[in-house]
Amino acid sequence: MKVLVTGAAGQLGRAVIDLAPHAAQVVGVDKQDCDLSDANAVRAMVADHAPDLIINCAAYTAVDQAESEPEMAQAINADAVAALVAAHAGRIVHVSTDFVFDGASSRPYRPEDSRNPLSAYGRTKATGEDHLRESDLLIRTAWLYAAGGQNFVRTMLRLMAEQDELRVVADQIGCPTWAPGLAKTIWGLVATEAKGTYHHSDAGVASWYDFAVAIQEEARAMGLLQSSIPITPIASADYPTPAKRPAISLLDSSKTRQLLEDGYTHWRINLWHMLRAEKHLG
């Protein structure tokens, strides 16, 4: 099976390629290889590689910047999906986000729940979802991070080493998700020939404040930080951003876990794995 992975240089794309089964012939492409906002370029790329399956890990993920660049977010998060669908008759695996929900639910969001995005980023991701066919596979995830990537964990490590104290939002609730765990789920769903919508996140619940505290504790124990600094919980109103975030964006992954029969892994365990990989990178 020949598999084309878009967004190959991103933290999820790298994990998908690294964890590919031996039977898969994987080709990775990134923005240097193809401008996904150009439908003609997408069509040529698909024709050139002639894949059996496309795993679309490419996305415009600058949530706040999308408020001032909605056209660019639309081009990558939505129009590119439409172009891939038009160019490829076979199945497409597309990765989306918890930001398609408004955060008003009192329980974790199920795959079939109604969407109501609050931001340009969320709206463009929701539009991208709408371009998929019934035969395609949609996987939503949240709070993604991996060693060597651009993410909250690495930002916190840098700030904790540079600053005397930190203030971190405590009233946005979700679940951190390790990219290699998501990549394993993607390949598992591909192997089962799943179609439709599935969710994947690590187990447990956290605020960004909880996540920051855990990052410092684990990094100190691992020797990635030389000292600890005070971390103060604050409200979202005390840290205004251009894009509005969902207050609670937990994803219900039970449908995914039941299909794959692989159980749950708590986010703090995967945080430890990520930090160990980060330490290895130096």
pLDDT digits (tens, 9 = 90+) for 256-270: 999 999 999 999 999
CB 44 within 8 A of CB 222: no
Q: In the annotation, is 145 catalytic?
A: no
CB within 8 Å of 245: residues ≥ 6 apart: 63, 99, 103, 118, 119, 172, 236
At 201 the pLDDT is 97
Structure tokens at 179: 């990219």
pLDDT digits (tens, 9 = 90+) for 166-224: 999 999 999 999 999 999 999 999 999 999 999 999 999 999 999 999 999 999 999 99
CB within 8 Å of 119: residues ≥ 6 apart: 63, 66, 67, 99, 243, 244, 245
In this structure, which amino acid lies at residue 131? H
In the predicted model, what is the mean pLDDT of residues 119-135? 97
> Confidence class of residue 124 from pLDDT cuts 50, 70 and 90?
very high
**Which of 121, 145, 198, 209 is flagged as catalytic?**
121
At 20 the pLDDT is 96
At 221 the pLDDT is 95
At 281 the pLDDT is 87
At 132 the pLDDT is 97
At 117 the pLDDT is 97
Q: Which domains does the chain have, with CATH numbers?
A: 2-281 (3.40.50.720)
At 170 the pLDDT is 97
- Quote the percentage of the chain above a pLDDT of 70: 100
